[in-house]
Amino acid sequence: MTAKQRKNLIRILIAFVLTAGLTVVYHLWEAPVWALILSYLIPYLVVGYDVLLKALKGIKNRQVFDENFLMAVATIGAFCLGECLEGVAVMLFYQVGELFQSVAVGKSRKNIAALMDIRPDYANLMSEDGRVEKTDPDEVEIGSTIVVNPGEKVPIDGIVTAGSSSLDTAALTGESVPRRVHTGEEVISGCIALDGQLHIETTKEFGESTVSKILDLVENSSMKKAKAENFISKFARVYTPIVCYSALALALLPPLIRMLFGASPDWIDWVARALTFLVISCPCAVVISVPLSFFGGIGCASSRGILVKGSNYLEALAGYGVTAKAEGHRIAVGNLRLMEKEGAAAAMDAPSGTVCHVAVDGRYAGHIIISDVVRTTSKDAMKSLKDQGIRTVMLTGDTTAVAERVAKELGIAEVRAELLPQDKVSEVEKLLEKKKPGECLAFVGDGINDAPVLSRADIGIAMGAMGSDAAIEAADIVLMDDDPAKLSLALRISGKTLRIVRQNIIFAIGVKVLCLILGALGIANMWIAIFADVGVMVLAVLNAVRALKIR
Q: Label the pairing between strands 393-395 and 414-416.
A: parallel
Beta-bridge mates of residue 416: 395
The whole-number average pLDDT for the span 401-425 is: 81
- For 414-462, how does the pLDDT look when each residue is reduced to its tens digit (9 = 90+)? 888 877 666 888 888 888 888 888 778 888 876 555 667 777 777 777 7
Instruction: Identify the weakest region by mean pLDDT among 146-155, 158-167, 448-457.
Output: 448-457
* Per-residue model confidence (pLDDT) at position 121: 78
Average pLDDT, rounded, for the chain: 75
Strand, coil or helix: what is 395? Answer: strand
Of the pLDDT bands very low, low, confident and very high (cuts 50, 70, 90), residue 71 is confident
> What pTM was estimated for this model as a whole?
0.47
Residue 290 above 70 pLDDT? no
- Does residue 348 have a pLDDT over 80? no
Residue 90 has, within 13 A of its CA and on its CB side, a CA count of 33
- H or E element in which residue 34 lies: helix 33-60
| Whole-number percent of the chain with pLDDT over 70 | 72
| Closest of 128, 149, 146 to residue 137, by C-alpha | 146
pLDDT of residue 215: 55
Q: What is the pLDDT of residue 319?
A: 47
Separation of alpha carbons 420 and 393, rounded Å = 16
Report which secondary-structure segment, H or E, holds 22: helix 3-28
Give 492 or 182, the one with higher predicted confidence.
182
Distances (CA, A) of 302 to 130, 193, 209, 397, 489: 40, 25, 22, 30, 11
Q: Is the pLDDT of residue 470 over 60?
A: no
Tens-digit pLDDT profile for residues 103-147? 766 665 565 555 455 667 789 999 888 889 999 888 888 999 999
- Residue 297 and residue 320: Cα distance in Å, rounded? 39
Give the 3-state DSSP-derived string for 71-112, with helices as H, strands as E and coil as C: HHHHHHHHHHCCCHHHHHHHHHHHHHHHHHHHHHHHHHHHHH
Most confidently modeled range among 214-223, 247-256, 283-292: 247-256
Predicted pLDDT at 551 = 65
pLDDT tens per residue across span 488-539: 677 777 777 778 888 888 887 788 788 778 877 777 776 777 677 667 777 7
Position 408 scores a pLDDT of 86
Strongest mean pLDDT among 238-242, 287-291, 480-484: 238-242
Residues 198/148, Cβ–Cβ less than 8 Å: yes
Average pLDDT over residues 332-356: 70
Q: Taking Cα atoms as reference points, which of 292, 293, 281 lies closest to residue 511?
A: 281
Confidence of residue 227 (pLDDT cuts 50, 70, 90): low
Amino acid at 519: G
Q: Are 462 and 454 in contact (CB under 8 A)?
A: yes
Predicted confidence at residue 199, as pLDDT, reads: 94
Q: For 65, left (φ over 0), alpha (ψ -120 to 50), or beta?
A: beta
More reliable by pLDDT, 11 or 233: 11
Instruction: Extract the runs of DSSP E, i.e. beta strands, from 309-362.
Output: 321-326, 329-334, 354-360
| Residue scoring higher pLDDT (390 or 448) | 390
Helices (H), 357-485: 378-387, 400-410, 421-434, 451-456, 469-474
Q: Among 82-96, 196-210, 220-234, which stretch is predicted with the lowest mean pLDDT?
A: 220-234
Q: Establish how many alpha carbons lie within 13 A of residue 313's alpha carbon, considering only the half-sphere containing its beta carbon.
A: 0
Helix H, strand E, coil C: the string for 186-197 is: EECCCCEECCCC
Residue 372 — pLDDT band, cuts 50, 70, 90? low
